Chain A
Amino acid sequence: MLSALSYIVLATIRLGTPIAITAMGATISERTGILNIGLEGIMSMGAFLAVLGSYWTGNPWFGVLLAVLVGVVISAVHGFVSIVCGGAQGVSSQALVLLATGFCSVGLQAIFGQKGMSPTVNTIATTEFLRPIPLVGNILADFSPIVYIALILLFVCNFVLFKTPLGLRMCACGEHPRAAETAGINVGAMRFLGVLISGFLGGLAGAFLSVGQMNLFQEGMVAGRGYLAMGAIIMGRWTPTGAFAAAMCFGLFDAVQLYIQIIPNSPIPHEFVQMIPYVASIIVLALTIKGATGPAASGQPYSKISGTR
């Protein structure tokens, strides 16, 4: 029983972290007024580029760097479309998903000459310098350093968003861009910053999936985690801490799903078990959504050339 519990707790942290990192970024982006449903795509690009970087140099940290960079670049495309051009944000971010699926698949064949998955590469699955800590050292060291980076980022995001003038300005752009502009805030720049941060974190989360958790890239490995992050934002009421907690809740569903799968002779067909995270997140969201209102101008274009300013 204890082993089951510890299995689920550890798996929750591993599975919840990528959703949490993405959800924090998406929270910041939505706070500035830009929806980014394309994080699913950014994550898979990040996962792919992380493997590529690690494959080329043998250093997984280089892969993480590459993943983060590509996240920023792709989200800049989304930023251009939705901020400069005032295009439909939900639709444009869906393009990122298509681009990413296409790019990963074409890239796998063009670069590795393989279909479906990449060769194995060096990883950062453990944090060795924590191992000497007595009692808990072995457990702590079994997590990827990215898990700890995620915890640090949680504090950074919270601090920046709620304790600094910059954060206040970003939030103002998501609530009432016109008022923000009247107060002398550069709305476009703030929104771009928000989108780029979400891309940065999405890339990092993708890198965690491929080199932090496994040792290869597999098509479809993101499996909707980027979309779950969207649900986590709503459940977390558009705060980094809330989104982090909600993401861990989704991670728990995933962990339970994995645990039931390894029980021998389980009476439930495993396809139904695999549905658990998706079904549970809809139910939980439906139960908790009452009274959730996001940033007032989230998803609304504010652009000079489209005449929405």
Chain B
Amino acid sequence: MKQSTAERPPSVTAKERPTKKFKKPSSEKLRAMGLECSISLIAFALSIITGGIILAILGVNPLTAYASLFKGALGTPSAIAGTINRMIPIILAGLAIAVGRKGSVFNIGVEGQLIIGALLGCLAGIYLKLPAIIHLPVCLLCGMLGGMAWAFIPAWLRLKKNVGVVFTTIMFNYIAKFLLTYLVISVFVTSGGQLSATEKMQDTARLPALIGRPYNINSGILIAVLAVIVVYIFINKTKWGYEMRATGINKNASGSAGINVDRNMFLALLISGALAGLGGCLEIHGSVFRMFADYSPGYGPTGIAVALLAKSNPIAVLLTAFLFGAMRNGAALMQMSTGVSSEFVSIVQGLIIIFVCSENFIRYLMKKAQKRGVAHA
């Protein structure tokens, strides 16, 4: 009996006892983590290089383009502040994808859920009259509910009719965009001016600045970090998170172990939607203060790359979201100074996804190189 426990690989023992806190990670675990990190780093470097080659093909000097991208992202204190503000919704979008992937749901609908969440939160900020101390939390709650509601129908269709989540959530992205345009232009349009946007929200609904002028970092970053911690605890330290992870790793095994797989996928999608809705809200309440009819920031697709590069680890999402926030923030300066469309960032994101997905190939090459090293020695 004693022998059999000793034979178990350390990762399994760690997973079986989720309640045990502050266990010092074994050296084997650390090595595995190092490998994961280096694979993500290699994937990132390869994407930057390939992106540079694409730029060169299009006749742009990649070095000047990357230099202005870097300068626009981190070159000055206000650029860094902009990057941090940009990070906020990206963190939440990345978390949304990561939670979904933990529960084996690939939620491509983050974009739509984010739009609806932002809209609902914004409307609550404009039309509800509440004291300052509860107005903002109510708005953020509305945003989360909005995102959750937008994820509900696809989740329900998956549960009851077994319609693939990928298809329905994508369709819901398109529907969300049209709904937003209709509601903003025809129902809640601002009375002053020619803007196709809503009124500005009340002061009580706005996120206070964490660092004031001239940098204007808004306190949404604190909420985003809090969300990361909550998600981390939920995924790794609770029974529900454990069931969800089990579902994500092996549906058949968790099904026969008595875990309700369908319910876990349903919940994963709802939580994912709520996180996405919160992300949209934080951006609107933190720096925009009104909804525009064409609000579709593309954080959903960015979230896929963020979560993938972070291996769906909530803490790592913080780091990768910083990377993507920096890229998106720097892209504006790159567009101005070199004429490369800021959409170039999507190319890099796509490349990152491709390289992370082909991690097995990178791993295979690394192993081969190692073997060759051993053979030579």
Question: Which residues from chain A sit less than 8 Å from chain B, CB to CB?
Answer: 37, 77, 80-82, 84-88, 90-92, 94-103, 105-111, 115, 223-224, 227, 230-231, 234, 269, 271-272, 274-275, 278-279, 281-282, 285-286, 289-290, 303, 305-306
Contacts and interface: CB of A to CB of B under 8 A. Distances in A.
Interface in B328-377: 339-341, 343-354, 357-361, 363-364
A90 B345 contact: no
A95 B351 contact: yes
B43 to A, nearest CB: 11
B164 interface: yes
Contacts of B351: 95, 99
Contacts, number: 151
A275 B167 contact: no
Nearest to A227: B170
B174 A278 contact: yes
Contacts of B363: 305
3 pairs of A and B residues whose beta carbons are closest in the complex: A87-B357, A102-B346, A105-B343
Contact of B106 (A80, A91, A290): A91
Interface of B: 54, 58-60, 106, 108, 157, 161-164, 166-168, 170-172, 174-175, 178-179, 181-182, 185-186, 301, 304-305, 308, 339-341, 343-354, 357-361, 363-364
Given A84-B361, A281-B171, 9 more contacts: A80-B358, A85-B357, A95-B354, A102-B345, A115-B341, A227-B171, A234-B167, A275-B175, A289-B163
23 contacts: A77-B354, A90-B106, A91-B353, A94-B301, A95-B354, A96-B350, A98-B304, A98-B347, A98-B350, A99-B351, A100-B350, A101-B346, A103-B347, A106-B347, A110-B60, A110-B339, A230-B164, A275-B178, A278-B172, A279-B175, A286-B161, A289-B161, A303-B360
B90 to A, nearest CB: 14
A99 B350 contact: yes
**DSSP majority for the A interface?**
helix
Contacts of B354: 77, 81, 92, 95, 99
Given A80-B358, A94-B304, A224-B174, A230 B353 contact: no
Contacts of A290: 161
A95 B350 contact: yes
A99 B304 CA distance: 13
